[in-house]
A and B are shown apart, each in its own frame.
Chain A
Amino acid sequence: MKKDEASCAGARVEKLVELRLSKDGSRRSFLKSALAAAVTGTVASGCDHPFVKDLLQKHYKELSDEDKKELFQRIEQRTHAWSGVRVKVSDPQPLDGVHWGYALNLNHCNGNRRCVEACARENNLPNDPEIRYIRVVEADNGSQHLEHGTVNYDREQVPEPGKYYLPVQCHQCRNPPCVKACPTKATWQEPDGIVVVDYDWCIGCRYCQAACPYHARRFNWTVPSIEPDRINPDQGYLSNRIRPVGVIEKCTFCLHRVRRGRYPACFEACPTGARKFGNLADPSSEVRQIIASKRVWILKEDLGTDPRFFYFYA
């Protein structure tokens, strides 16, 4: 068992080295082919190059089914080339009559952060530099002053007496300030309420990050480094596919899961049953039941963002 792990780690290192090399290689070969294109004057050969294809890629909403098919294949091949992992990129569409809602029971949440890690696994989030969509604030009972709380609590055991825990992730606002802010419409709200980012259209200005009152958006400061054995092969184009450098990403309520009937990863990981998820358009859904019968509040209601993420006590 130990031996296997060791050889596994060895293979991982090898693959990472290969990744570096192949990147350099592709850069060099790009220069070569660009040069060739310039010399022979054939624009066509240049257009075939992945770099040029990236440059000329259209906005998600302008992609035809054909474009998507080719694009997804390209992403799958690229991932395979550096990681050796066969992934499947898909693009599940929003469901009619469904508006996602999340509710979180603050009486039950004990700050164990299982959701944070499950989310990282599901969404191919890198560890270095670390990206995590969910932040859990530990605050004093009787205080909603977030500045007095901390997300960095490091305890042997939770919950700590006298504290409560407030997990925060994207609230999928009905009136999202981030969508308003984006200068290139690289982020938008889907009909089912999920705010998504076209990672291939974002210019990385980070204005949306400044605009978000929930600190829900993350920037890829470097090429995201993810160990091949951590790659989740079930990848949504607008959700958890491995992101390029220099773009914004965010929680999508795991749209590649929920649009296929599953629950978000954070939901499934929660051992306390504090997380509730469902269709806001369905009066029998758990989220609607909670809104109808519990003391429900939303974070920073005064900002008028109208989130789809509710906190409650039960």
Chain B
Amino acid sequence: MSAGRLVLVAFVAALACEATHAPDQAAERPFAPTHEEILVEPRSHLLPTYPCTSCHDEREAQPTRRRLADYHRTRYDDLKHGDDAFWCYQCHALEDIDKLRMASGQLISFDEAWRLCTSCHGDKQRDFQRGIHGLTIGEWNGKKHRRSCTGCHDPHNPRFRSMTPEKPPAPVQSR
């Protein structure tokens, strides 16, 4: 994954500022505590039907809630997010289908989906920013990549999927 595709998000979490470390110490010790850079992994390039405009350009957007019979049928069947009032344009932007729409009306890229998610899930936002919620890889004290919300959760059906576990421990054998 090239760095250019990463969206650098500098979190200004109040707690993160508590950490004060002399820079000279940090220079001496390569892994000494330093301010961390957290990169939320972009997702748009992973979406199979992206850009949406490749189909939606030719179609009139219909903001009314209805049963979907031709396109996005599985999405419709699977849709389990929020209550019955939820519809595509709660999150997708009617005016630009390649973007997401915040409650404020601001349009944001799919790579920033976490901003939209956390605008409702405020408790998760706090935990996500502190690294408590979510999946992080990289270096414990260096560059960190954080999976975006939609990297683990299907936004249309966000409940974490069940998985097939690895095999159980080998039984103790008598000889």
A-to-B contact residues, CB < 8 Å = 95-98, 105, 108, 110-114, 116-117, 127-130, 132, 135, 151-159, 258-263, 268, 270-273, 276-279, 281-286, 289-290, 292-294, 314
What's the nearest-Cβ distance from chain A to residue B25, in Å?
8
Residues of B within 8 A of A105 (CB): 132
Q: Are B140's CB and A262's CB within 8 A?
A: yes
Query: Given A95-B32, A293-B130, are A111 and B165 also a contact pair (CB < 8 Å)?
Result: yes
Q: Is the CB of A284 within 8 A of B147?
A: no
Could you say which of B14-22, B77-85, B99-107 contacts chain A? B14-22
Are B168 and A152 neighbours in the complex by a CB distance under 8 Å? Answer: yes
Q: Contact check: which of A151, A259, A277, A283 meets B169 at CB < 8 Å?
A: A151
Name which of B33, B163, B165 has the most chain A CB atoms within 10 A of its CB: B165
Alpha-carbon gap, A97 to B169, bound state (A): 37
CA distance A271 to B134 in the complex (A): 10
Majority SS at the chain A contact face: loop
Q: Using Cβ atoms and an 8 Å threshold, which residues of chain A touch B7?
A: none
A308 to B135 alpha-carbon distance, docked (Å): 21
Known A152-B169, A153-B168: A110·B160 in contact at CB below 8 Å: yes
Would A279 and B141 be within 8 Å (CB), given that A158-B165, A293-B132 are in contact? yes
Please tell me if the beta carbons of B166 and A113 are within 8 angstroms of each other in the complex. Answer: yes
Contact partner of B166 (CB less than 8 A), chosen from A112, A135, A156, A273, is A112
Please tell me if the beta carbons of B32 and A286 are within 8 angstroms of each other in the complex: no
Determine whether B131 belongs to the interface, using a CB cutoff of 8 Å to chain A: yes
Q: Which residues of B contact A157 (CB under 8 A)?
A: 162-165
Question: Which A residues are in CB contact (< 8 Å) with B136?
Answer: 273, 276, 286
Q: Can you report 6 residue pairs joining A to B where beta carbons are below 8 Å apart?
A: A113-B165, A132-B169, A152-B168, A152-B171, A273-B133, A289-B132
With A and B bound together, what is the CA distance between A135 and B169 in angstroms?
8
CB distance from B11 to the nearest CB of A (A): 11
Select A279's contact among B30, B137, B140, beta carbons within 8 Å: B140
Chain B residues with CB under 8 Å of chain A are 15-16, 18-19, 25, 29-33, 35-36, 126-127, 130-142, 147, 152, 160, 162-171, 173
A159 touches B15 (CB 8 A): no
Complex: A96 Cα to B31 Cα, angstroms: 9
Determine the chain B residues whose CB is within 8 A of the CB of A151 once the complex forms: 168-169
Question: Are B152 and A278 interface neighbours, CB within 8 A?
Answer: no
Contact (A283, B19) CB under 8 Å given A97-B33, A262-B140: yes
The answer on a CB contact under 8 Å between A289 and B170 is no
Q: Tell me, rounded to whole Å, the shortest Cβ–Cβ distance linking A275 to chain B.
A: 9
Which residue of chain B lies nearest to A118 when distances are taken between CB atoms in the complex?
A: B166
Which residues from chain B contact A260 at a C-beta distance below 8 Å? Answer: 31
Q: In the complex, which residues of chain A have a beta carbon less than 8 angstroms from the beta carbon of B171?
A: 152
A114 to chain B: which residues have CB within 8 Å? 166
Q: Is the CB of B169 within 8 A of A262?
A: no
B140 near A273 with CB under 8 A, answer: no
Complex formed: what's the CA distance from A130 to B140 in Å?
30
Chain B residues, Cβ within 8 Å of A159 = 162
Residue from B32, B134, B168 within 8 A of A154 (CB atoms): B168
* Minimum CB–CB distance for A259 against chain B, Å: 7
- Taken together as a complex, chains A and B put the C-alpha atoms of A259 and B29 apart, in Å, by 11
Which residues on the B side are within 8 Å of A158 (C-beta)?
Answer: 162-165
Q: Using Cβ atoms and an 8 Å threshold, which residues of chain A touch B160?
A: 108, 110, 272
A263–B29 CB distance below 8 A: no
**What's the minimum C-beta distance from A304 to chain B, rounded to whole angstroms?**
27
Q: Find out whether the CB atom of B137 lies under 8 angstroms from the CB atom of A268.
A: yes
| Contact assessment for B132 and A156 in the assembled complex, using a CB-CB cutoff below 8 Å | no
A112–B137 touching, CB < 8 Å = no
Complexed CA–CA distance, A194 and B76 (Å): 51
Bound complex: CA of A293 vs CA of B141, how far in Å?
20
Determine the residue in chain A with the shortest Cβ distance to B35.
A284
| A contact residues around B32 at 8 Å (CB) | 95-98
Chain A residues whose CB sits within 8 angstroms of the CB of B134 once the complex forms? 273
CB-CB under 8 A for A289 and B142, given A95-B31, A153-B168: no
Closest 10 CB pairs of A and B: A284-B19, A273-B135, A113-B166, A286-B131, A130-B170, A282-B33, A289-B130, A157-B162, A261-B139, A112-B163
Of A154, A262, A271, A278, the residue contacting B135 (CB under 8 A) is A271
Q: A289 contacts B139, CB within 8 Å?
A: no
Q: Is the CB of B132 within 8 A of A276?
A: yes
Known: A98-B31, A293-B132. 15 other contacts (CB 8 A): A96-B29, A110-B162, A113-B165, A113-B167, A153-B168, A155-B165, A261-B139, A261-B142, A273-B147, A277-B140, A279-B140, A284-B35, A289-B132, A293-B126, A314-B133
